[in-house]
Amino acid sequence: MLLTHTTLHKDLKAYASPAHATALSRYFKTGPGEYGEGDVFMGVRVPDIRRVATRHKDVPLSDVAALLASPIHEERMTALVILTLRYTRGDEKEKKKIVGMYVAYTLYINNWDLVDVSVHKIIGAWVWAHPNKKTLLMRWARSRYIWERRMAIVATFYHIAHGELDLTCAIAETLLGDAYDLIQKAVGWALREVGKKDEQTLKAFIREHYADMARTTLRYAIERFSAEERARYLRGDW
């Protein structure tokens, strides 16, 4: 089935719910001054987005790029899911094209769910395979664009899964002073994952950077500690 914007929009619309669209608009903060201001939702649930993406996974990348620039949130999500599917089974040439597209289109990857569903599977995997590309994540960590900063830390989940923790810690350190709740949570989440692999690495990071860590970040990072240990680390008592 050949993708056109009209075809895929129709496919997604079959799963759309106006009531769910209203709920999503509130959940993803689309009001004036909020982080998702102006975003448009059809009201399609993620499992249905994945069904549509799977049906269209073999379309030309040029069509996926057009979809990624859509004003409709679920269409951008569908494009990203297609890219993750294509990246996983693509050859080196296709993977390079997908990475190039992702980097070029970060302004359209503009909410936390879009970042979290895709960046570790594409950019994280690419950087793992090409360690000299770590500079991309460090550049994103210093970006003025909130979603590139989130991309930087979430991309390292691929490295954590493969037992490499240093990159996550380096990017977490860069982001510790971030004022945005969505970045503080992402950093804490990443550190918690580091702790699953090596609790001593997490504890050493907290002890070294305790004075600079937002409480949100710290609470997320120590979520798996015992109640007694959480209380001690929140007090800085170790």
φ/ψ of residue 40, rounded to 5:
-120, 130
Domain, as residue range, for 86: 1-109
Same domain, 126 and 229: yes
CA distances for 58 relative to 12, 54, 55, 75, 99, angstroms: 17, 8, 8, 16, 17
Q: What is the CATH number of the domain that holds 201?
A: 1.25.10.90
The residue among 109, 129, 160 that closes a domain is 109
Same domain, 236 and 129: yes
The residue among 109, 132, 162 that closes a domain is 109
For residues 220 and 201, the answer to whether their CB atoms sit within 8 Å is: no
Distance of CA 44 to the CA centre of its chain: 19
> What is the model's pLDDT at position 5?
66
**For residue 8, what pLDDT band results from cuts at 50, 70 and 90?**
confident
Same domain, 142 and 169: yes
pTM of the model: 0.95
> What is the model's pLDDT at position 4?
62
Give 40's strand partners. Answer: 72
| CA atoms of 154 and 125, how far apart (whole Å) | 12
Same domain, 104 and 129: no
**For residue 1, what pLDDT band results from cuts at 50, 70 and 90?**
very low
For residues 116 and 109, the answer to whether their CB atoms sit within 8 Å is: no
Buried b (16+ CB within 10 A) or exposed e, 35-72: bbeebebbbbeeebbbbbbeebbebebebbbbbbebeb
> What is the model's pLDDT at position 2?
47
Residue type, 62: S
98-151 pLDDT per residue, tens: 999 999 999 999 999 999 999 999 999 999 999 999 999 999 999 999 999 999
The residue among 55, 83, 109 that closes a domain is 109
Same domain, 102 and 152: no
Residue type, 14: A
Q: Is residue 238's pLDDT more than 90?
A: no
Same domain, 12 and 123: no
For residues 197 and 167, the answer to whether their CB atoms sit within 8 Å is: no
163-202 pLDDT per residue, tens: 999 999 999 999 999 999 999 999 999 999 999 999 999 9
> What is the model's pLDDT at position 7?
83
Which pair of structure tokens corresponds to residue 78? 């569908």
Same domain, 87 and 190: no
Q: How many Cα atoms sit within 13 Å of 91 on the Cβ side?
A: 1
CA distances for 93 relative to 96, 100, 125, 140, angstroms: 5, 11, 14, 24
28-78 pLDDT per residue, tens: 999 999 999 999 999 999 999 999 999 999 989 999 999 999 999 999 999
Q: Virtual CA dihedral for 175, 189, 22, 16, nearest 10 degrees?
A: 120
Q: Is residue 161's pLDDT more than 50?
A: yes
Angle between helices 146-155 and 134-141 (to 10 degrees): 140
| CA atoms of 185 and 87, how far apart (whole Å) | 27
Same domain, 93 and 202: no
Residues ≥6 apart with Cβ < 8 Å to 228 = none
Same domain, 125 and 226: yes
| CA atoms of 156 and 169, how far apart (whole Å) | 9
Work out the average pLDDT over 74-101: 97
> What is the model's pLDDT at position 41?
97
Same domain, 212 and 236: yes
Q: How many domains does the chain have?
A: 2
- How big, in percent rounded to 5, are the helix, strand and coil portions of the chain? 70, 0, 30
Q: Is residue 27's pLDDT more than 70?
A: yes
